[in-house]
């Protein structure tokens, strides 16, 4: 009997896949039959999620590289995947540098480092995957951005600016690399164990202004990423999909 899984046999490269949302993305794509390539800064950082996928009968492997390491490193990541598994069908640009920055802080080194990972690596990997694809109509790119690309939080200046740039890049890439599909997710606050204790005021505030009454889960974000990469979303490209429990449509008053 033929498989009914949406991404059976597709090679899916996911950056920053060792933990958190990245690990949930890896497991979710594997559950749809994809051959998951879990990227991390080191091989060891993604070994756990790969072992978990394989233990559950899925297919996964690792690839390593510093996304801020320049064009040669990024090219090497894509070429390694191609040499081992064939062309990348789905690219999920998930990795991000989320450090806090402010315009009042002197120096631009932190800005450069964040933009290298959050924007330039996204642009380079998207270009590499799309231009090397034998059939662009079979390629889907999902960029994990943030609601901060539309509504920056205090002291997140560089992060928010880089995520806003990813949204613009998504629209441009959808036109340039068509018929490849390029979409973005504007993720809201993603809950995790200990977040309510580590940031009680922010956790409560988000729940009070979002129509859902809570932060979103990593699984909710991953489910939308899988949908955008699947044939079911064949008519969707150049779009930004909010996954924020309605936060972006709320008054968003009373910032903590």
CA distance 170 to 41: 24
Q: Give whole-number Cα distances, 219 to 23, 66, 119, 191, in Å.
A: 10, 26, 24, 10
Phi-psi region of 9 (alpha: psi -120 to 50; beta: other; left: phi over 0): left
Q: Is 109 exposed, middle or buried (0-12, 13-18, 19+ CB in 10 A)?
A: exposed
CA distance 177 to 14: 19
| Residue 159 bears catalytic tag | yes
Catalytic residue, chosen from 159, 177, 206, 247, is 159
Question: For residues 115 and 83, is the Cβ–Cβ distance under 8 A?
Answer: no
Give catalytic residue positions: 159
């Amino acid at each position: 009997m033929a498989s009914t899984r949406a991404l059976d046999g597709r090679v899916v490269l996911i950056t920053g896949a060792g933990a958190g949302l990245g690990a949930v993305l890896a497991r979710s794509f594997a559950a749809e039959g994809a051959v998951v390539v879990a990227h991390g800064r080191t091989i060891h950082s993604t070994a756990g999620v790969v072992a978990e996928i394989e233990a559950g009968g899925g297919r996964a492997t690792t690839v390593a590289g510093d996304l801020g390491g320049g064009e040669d490193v990024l090219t090497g990541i894509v070429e390694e995947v191609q040499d081992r598994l064939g062309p990348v069908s789905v690219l999920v640009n998930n990795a991000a540098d989320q450090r806090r920055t402010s315009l009042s802080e002197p120096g631009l080194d932190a800005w450069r480092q964040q933009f290298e990972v959050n924007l330039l690596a996204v642009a380079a990997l998207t270009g590499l995957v799309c231009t090397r694809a034998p059939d662009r109509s079979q390629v889907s790119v999902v960029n994990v951005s943030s609601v901060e690309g539309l509504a920056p939080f205090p002291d997140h200046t560089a992060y928010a600016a880089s995520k806003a740039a990813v949204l613009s890049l998504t629209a441009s890439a959808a036109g340039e690399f068509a018929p490849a599909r390029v979409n973005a997710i504007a993720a809201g606050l993603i809950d995790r164990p200990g977040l309510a204790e580590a940031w009680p005021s922010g956790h409560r505030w988000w729940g009070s202004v979002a129509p859902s009454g809570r932060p979103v889960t990593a699984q909710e974000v991953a489910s939308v990423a899988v949908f955008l990469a699947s044939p079911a979303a064949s008519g969707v490209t150049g779009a930004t999909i909010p996954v924020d429990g309605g936060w972006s449509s709320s008054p968003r008053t009373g910032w903590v």
